[in-house]
Amino acid sequence: MKPAPFDYVRAKSLGEALAALGDDAMPLAGGQSLLPLLGLRMASARLLVDIGHLDELRQSSATDATVTLGAAVTHAEIEDGRVPDPGHGLMRSIARKLAYRAVRNQGTIGGSVAMADPAADWPACLVALGATARIAGPDGERRVAVTDLIEDIYTTSLVPGEIIVSFDIPRLHAAAKTGTAKVMRKTGAFAMSFVVAVLHDGDQADRIVLAGAGRRAERLAETSDAVAAGMDEAALRAAVAADLAGLMDAPDDYAVRLHTAVVLRALAEARRS
Amino acid sequence: MRTITLSVNGEDLTVTVEPRESLADVLRERLDLTGTHLGCEHGVCGACTIEVDGKATRACLILAVMAEGRRITTIEGLRDDPVAAVLRRHFHEQHALQCGFCTPGMLIMARDLLNRSTPSSEKDVREGLAGQMCRCTGYAGIVRAVLAAADETTSTRSPTP
Ligand SMILES: Cc1cc2nc3c(=O)[nH]c(=O)nc-3n(C[C@H](O)[C@H](O)[C@H](O)COP(=O)(O)OP(=O)(O)OC[C@H]3O[C@@H](n4cnc5c(N)ncnc54)[C@H](O)[C@@H]3O)c2cc1C
Ligand code: FES
Ligand code: FES
């Protein structure tokens, strides 16, 4: 587990970080995904540009409608309520069950989205909340919905030289109901199945978002519609199966049972909330 | 190679490292602080857990160069810590270690848990220490020790140096 040699620079500002990110350089935030990948030699870089401490990425702010979280806000800061929670406690409860405290103290929300692990927690949460990423690059700033930013397994539309600066996350309606459920091999491990359910969010459609099945976190369209239409459990199960058939190549019985159970648990939690 | 200064257990130590070296490797191989153990080297086992700026951190998942200018505390730095002292005594009394490989990380994490909360059930402790693996004890003694220490330290917290 020793990475191949690379150089390291701690950027002093976002501008300096963007300037340093030339060929074969990578941003380094918490290092909780990148350092294991470098150690396993599944990734390599000539230069790591440390952006974890940059003011521009550490800031958070809130208005009545939107919470903006800096990309370098850590999982533990969300867990501890040190930043506003647009989901009225949803993000805190997700953070509490993400990895382990020692990983949460360093790992960042921006790193998690940039990594685009198909089983990761924040992509599913941010898709369910309808978040938009603000991205800085050599050609200026752009904004893109997280659901479009993440394209495939470990693949985003970020191009080399770009840095996620922050996420704009619409606040849920005060009457919204939320629930999550997660099945993992061991507490703190990546999910085998993870669902975020958001219901009754003002005039917005219900969202049932699943990670761990497809190539990225996705809103289950048929399931979400079935929930909104108040269908019974048999109809919901059929809707989940239909969504899974679209997400996975030939899901086996176990996958269908697993993801269906997790959807139903998240829904039950949302209805109780 | 580059020369950096690390603040370890209150002491400024100057050391020459390669950027690719983890803090765990630098602590062990260059600074002779072998209380920080390395098991998996990818964040899963918890043996290497230390504190950086008062926050429990995997020493295998932070580069030494990232830790420059930050306050590092290893198990060697907790000799006089009040919460760690209570934990050590209960670990001894409850047979919470056999080979001792997991123990430094276990103590750092248990101390962090007690400083942040007062775990009152076995479930609280098992969840709080889920990221710390022990291959010997079966965890029962560790859980008992941490619960006993929690009882004793309800109003004790480690000083923030
Ligand atoms: C033992 C263990 C268990 C884990 N369990 C879970 C889990 O249950 N659920 C879960 O969701 N995650 C889990 N993780 C992953 C964890 O959430 C990581 O912290 C996160 O995926 C990466 O964030 P980071 O800040 O550490 O990013 P880094 O490791 O620093 O970077 C990851 C990637 O993102 C890029 N990057 C980082 N920041 C930015 C940015 N602002 N803009 C553009 N690119 C950027 C880097 O170049 C790199 O390619 C686990 C990790 C470990 C070690
Ligand atoms: S050696 Fe660092 S977590 Fe296992
Ligand atoms: S005492 Fe041997 S690994 Fe825990």
One domain for residues B21 and B66: yes
Interchain contact B58–A (C-beta under 8 A): yes
One domain for residues B150 and B131: yes
DSSP code per residue over A2-39: -PPP-EEEE-SSHHHHHHH--TTEEEESS-TTHHHHHH
Q: Do A3 and B20 touch (CB under 8 A)?
A: yes
Q: What angle do CA B117, B119, B120 make, to 5 degrees?
A: 140
> Ligand nearest B134 Cα, by number?
3
Enter the tokens of residue B136: 């010997």
- Mean pLDDT of the region B100-128: 97
Which residues lie closer than 8 Å to A54 by C-beta, 6 or more apart?
A11, A13, A14, A17, A72
Q: Please give the span between the terminal C-alpha atoms of chain B, in angstroms, as a whole number.
A: 30
Total domains, chain B? 2
Q: What CATH number does the domain containing B128 carry?
A: 1.10.150.120
Residue B154: what pLDDT? 81
Instruction: State phi, psi for A3 to the nearest 5 degrees.
Output: -70, 155
Domain end (from B34, B49, B77): B77
Residue B160: what pLDDT? 73
Enter the tokens of residue B73: 């505390």
Let me know if residue B73 belongs to a domain. yes
Tell whether ligand 3 has an atom less than 6 A from the beta carbon of residue B145.
Answer: no
Quickly tell me which residue has 């401490």 as its tokens.
Answer: A53
Let me know if residue B65 belongs to a domain. yes
Residue A216 has pLDDT above 80, yes or no: yes
Let me know if residue B160 belongs to a domain. no
Residue B161 has pLDDT above 70, yes or no: no
Q: What CATH number does the domain containing B29 carry?
A: 3.10.20.30
One domain for residues B71 and B97: no
- Spell out which residues of chain B touch residue A106, defining contact as CB-CB under 8 Å: 52, 55, 57-58, 61-62
Residue B90 has pLDDT above 70, yes or no: yes
One domain for residues B93 and B73: no
Burial of residue A243 (CB within 10 Å: 0-12, 13-18, 19+) is buried
Residue type, A71: A
HSE-up of B19 (CA within 13 Å, CB side)? 15
Q: Please give the span between the terminal C-alpha atoms of chain A, in angstroms, as a whole number.
A: 44
Let me know if residue B159 belongs to a domain. no
Enter the tokens of residue B66: 């990232």
One domain for residues B13 and B68: yes
DSSP code per residue over A130-198: T-EEEEEETTEEEEEEHHHHEEETTEES--TT-EEEEEEEEPPPTT-EEEEEEEESSTTSPEEEEEEEE
Quickly tell me which residue has 């970080």 as its tokens.
Answer: A17
B17-35 pLDDT per residue, tens: 999 999 999 999 999 999 9
Domain end (from B50, B77, B104): B77
> Ligand nearest B96 Cα, by number?
3
A124-160 pLDDT per residue, tens: 999 999 999 999 999 999 999 999 999 999 999 999 9
How far lies A14's CA from each of A2, A30, A204, in Å?
A: 29, 16, 35
One domain for residues B8 and B64: yes
**Pairing mode, strands B11-17 and B2-8:** antiparallel
